[in-house]
Amino acid sequence: MTENSNQQWQHLPLFALLFFFGRALYQLIRNAMNMAPALAGALVFSETVRAWAFTLVPVAIVLIVIVGGALHYWYFRYCVGEQTIYIRQGVFNRVQLALEYPRIQQAEIDQPFYFRPFNLAILTLDSAGSSANEVKLAGLPIATATAMKHDMLQARRAEQNLTGTETVDASAEASMSSNILLELKTPVHEVLKFGVMDSRTLLSIPFIIALLFQFDRSIGVIQEWVITVTDQLSSYVVSSWLWVVLAVAAIALVLVGSMGFALVRFFGFKLTVDDEKYQAESGLVSKRSLTIRQEKLQLVRIKQNFAARWLNRFSILIKQLQPRATAGGVSSFTIPVLSATQRTQLTDIFSLTQANWQRVNPASVVLPTLFWLAVLLTIAGFSVTDTLPKAITMVAIGIAIPLISWRRWYCFGLHWDSQWLAVRTGFIGARQSWYPVHKLQKVTLSEPPWLRWFGMASVTVYTAAGAEQVSWLKKSQAEQVQRDIITAVSSHRGSWM
């Protein structure tokens, strides 16, 4: 590290503590969401856990947020050189980065609500050659952040002009960038629909209803009060209607909360697409902006769950790189709500080809069906004691599992050509994942014993946005997929990044 020998390592301004506190809280909530099923089960079935949860959890949250945020702030240092910015960060896992200005792919400035009164901002740097995808310099004066961004992008442009990878005439570049292909704005009533469409919200409803059963004593008191007031309704009727009302209220509360979260996240959403990049801006209290250049596009994922299907709407995820746990940043953005017409406009801009979906072999249904039948029938046999309920449960399982397996097989599809590899999955809704073929990093073919016995094979493709595996292809078909991908990648002469 010679360039910064005369430079001094600097702390971020003290106001940056707000950013580190917020990031610690966000990571805590995110980890808790991943553990939601286990936490809900513990709360439902363990009185001891419930008793300790309401006492210790708030204290633990405060300690984790304050202590964790303060430590990450204290150990974050940066040093600005002439052509390089150096970063030190991490509490237990110390990381030191050297980001050369010409290698910085993107520099974005965000101004959250808690920084606006102080005229401060967050400078986000994305360098493809770093060991982490993003670095955030929080709490910088807006003038400093703007000047640093200008210097970095000027250095990158000079490097590209020197190597002949970009047009030398800056005015010509500006005129090209101004060729807007699509400008899409999402109104508030459409943003609220995303709150209904969010799969995490729909999955949380059963756990919310399960928690209601833990307050049966309080509900019993309410039930007795209603019976006393009416003096005409039976206990059975009151109990039935009371549970229905509470369940509906719980679902409504979850949906309202989800719509509120969607409004905070996607208020004022605006997507701008031009010849070079995709740019999304949104946010109610904190305006966020993210730009993905076309040459960095790694994945286009079109989603429509059963709620979105009911609303006749779609969501699209655009991704550029696989997020790393240590990055703490965002490498993708979601277009929350699209009509069928808007979806067609975007797929045309992405140049997604007309898909020729191919299903895998129907034998793929056999093994999962037999496995889940054996597991669930065994559980039902030991847990249900009465003869009639046991028979009804086993018949229901025997009918439902094959139908579910068949439906998942029916919705699955594979498409590939010289430009795109696409995989379609779903049950009631559908999800299509489109990968640019020339961005695929590796493709492998494997033949486990259970596939080889049927004359089948499995293909796995690896990209910077993750891996995708397709099993139960005929061996000749799997080999054809592998050959076509390798040919398309080797013949591509454009930019990869």
Give pLDDT < 70 ranges for the chain. 1-7, 33-54, 127-133, 159-178, 201-243, 321-330, 494-497
Instruction: Residue 155: give its domain's CATH number.
Output: 2.30.29
Closest CA to 144 of 173, 105, 115: 115
Domain-embedded: residue 494: no
Three-state DSSP state, 171:
helix
Provide the edge-to-edge strand list for the sheet that holds 430-436: 332-338, 314-319, 299-304, 430-436, 420-425, 413-416
Domain-embedded: residue 131: yes
Any bridge partners for residue 134, and if so which? Answer: 126
Task: Note whether 151 and 197 are same-domain residues.
Answer: no
What does the chain come to in residues?
497
Burial of residue 362 (CB within 10 Å: 0-12, 13-18, 19+) is exposed
Boundary (domain end) residue, out of 266, 295, 327: 266
Angstrom distance (rounded) from CA 211 to CA 109: 42
Task: Note whether 137 and 67 are same-domain residues.
Answer: yes
Q: Are 302 and 345 in contact (CB under 8 A)?
A: no
The DSSP code sequence of 416-482 is E-SSEEEEEE-SSSEEEEEEEGGG--EEEEE--HHHHTTTEEEEEEEETTEEEEEEEEEHHHHHHHH
Q: In the prediction, which pLDDT does 97 show?
A: 82
Domain-embedded: residue 375: yes
Domain-embedded: residue 233: yes
Task: Note whether 143 and 231 are same-domain residues.
Answer: no
For 114-172, the pLDDT digits (tens) are 888 888 888 888 765 444 457 888 889 988 888 888 888 777 777 666 655 444 333 33
Closest CA to 442 of 414, 422, 412, 469: 469
Domain-embedded: residue 303: no
Domain-embedded: residue 478: no
Angstrom distance (rounded) from CA 449 to CA 481: 21
Query: Dihedral of CA 43/46/50/53: which sign?
Result: negative
Q: Is the pTM of this model over 0.85?
A: no
Task: Note whether 49 and 152 are same-domain residues.
Answer: yes
Task: Note whether 236 and 154 are same-domain residues.
Answer: no
For 428-468, the pLDDT digits (tens) are 889 999 999 988 888 999 999 989 888 999 999 998 878 89
Domain-embedded: residue 328: no
Task: Note whether 226 and 97 are same-domain residues.
Answer: no
Closest CA to 196 of 306, 59, 296, 62: 306
Task: Note whether 152 and 215 are same-domain residues.
Answer: no
Any bridge partners for residue 104, and if so which? Answer: 127
Structural domain count, the chain:
3
**Residue ranges making up the domain that contains 401:** 362-410
Q: In the prediction, which pLDDT does 136 show?
A: 86
- What residues contact residue 379 under an 8 Å CB cut-off, 6+ apart? none
% of the chain with per-residue pLDDT over 70 = 76
Q: In the prediction, which pLDDT does 257 show?
A: 82
Task: Note whether 79 and 202 are same-domain residues.
Answer: no
Taking CA atoms, 382 is separated from 374, 389, 401, in Å, by 12, 12, 19
Q: In the prediction, which pLDDT does 358 show?
A: 93
Domain-embedded: residue 490: no
Task: Note whether 125 and 246 are same-domain residues.
Answer: no
Q: What are the tokens at 488?
A: 């398309």
323-326 long-range contacts (CB < 8 A, ≥24 apart) are 323/133, 324/132, 324/133, 326/90, 326/93, 326/95, 326/131, 326/132
